Amino acid sequence: MTVRAADGADAPGTADQRRVQMLRAALEIISERGYADTRIADVAARAGVSPALVIYYFKTKDQLLTDAIRHYEDTWYAVGQRQMASMPSAATRLEELVAMTCLSDADPAPGSFARLWLDFWAQAVRNEAVAAVRRKSDERWREAIASLVREGQEAGEFREIDADRFAIYLSTLLDGLTIQIALGDPVVDSLRAFELTMRFVADELGFAWTPGRGRTGGSAGPADGT
């Protein structure tokens, strides 16, 4: 299959392959330089395509940003779900979800794009189309957390609390810590963010958690510590 570009040239390969190629390039460039300093030409050069082809697929830079975020999220969730599938308990799966957010070595998506979220959130303040994508992203994030909590409650691992309310607390905490990590805060680095979050999670849900992951390994277990 070929894709007819806006400049009339045939682009070899499938539309999906081309699109993913440009989205990955956009993620890299925006993360490195920031949204304001990213040009369509920069993304095209990184992807090895013409600027006209980028415009043909995404129309505007705002659309490129929102599609790049969606692509990053889809990759993050898909790979993360595969990682968690073999984990024996809801507690360890929830710990993995926190680690994927805070610790770069656990991030299932290629590269670390914490700064990308700063640009995304900033654009969402003034751009309704971006804001709509942000709302959907937050809904997906909270539901992922709440689903894990319900699994743990059904298995008798977690105490009975409001899973949806807890998801709001945890997602908000992680979003705030993501900002500190992205800004390179000298007090709240990625390891401290992970450990602070896991202490909160374990206290709220009533299970034992031993610090160590990111150092020598960590563990999550039932409330009696066995």
The answer, as to whether pTM is greater than 0.85, is no
Fill in the DSSP letter of residue 219.
E
At 226, the amino acid letter reads T
Do residues 38 and 113 share a domain? Answer: no
Average pLDDT over residues 187-197: 93
Position with higher pLDDT, 169 vs 183: 169
Last residue of a domain, one of 21, 40, 59: 59
pLDDT at 34 over 50: yes
Do residues 83 and 141 share a domain? Answer: yes
Q: Is residue 199 a part of any domain in this protein? A: yes
Do residues 133 and 212 share a domain? Answer: yes
Q: What is the pLDDT of residues 63-82, one digit of tens each?
A: 998 898 889 889 889 988 99
Q: Which domain holds residue 20?
A: 1-59
Largest CA distance in the chain: 67
User: Percent of the chain beyond pLDDT 70?
Assistant: 84
Q: Is residue 226 a part of any domain in this protein? A: no
Q: What is the pLDDT of residues 208-226, one digit of tens each?
A: 998 876 554 444 544 443 3
Position with higher pLDDT, 155 vs 33: 155
Structure tokens at 209: 């958690």
CA 79 vs CA 22, 73, 102, 110, 151: distances in Å: 20, 10, 16, 10, 20
Query: Parallel, antiparallel, or unpaired for β 208-210 and 219-221?
Result: antiparallel
Position with higher pLDDT, 169 vs 217: 169
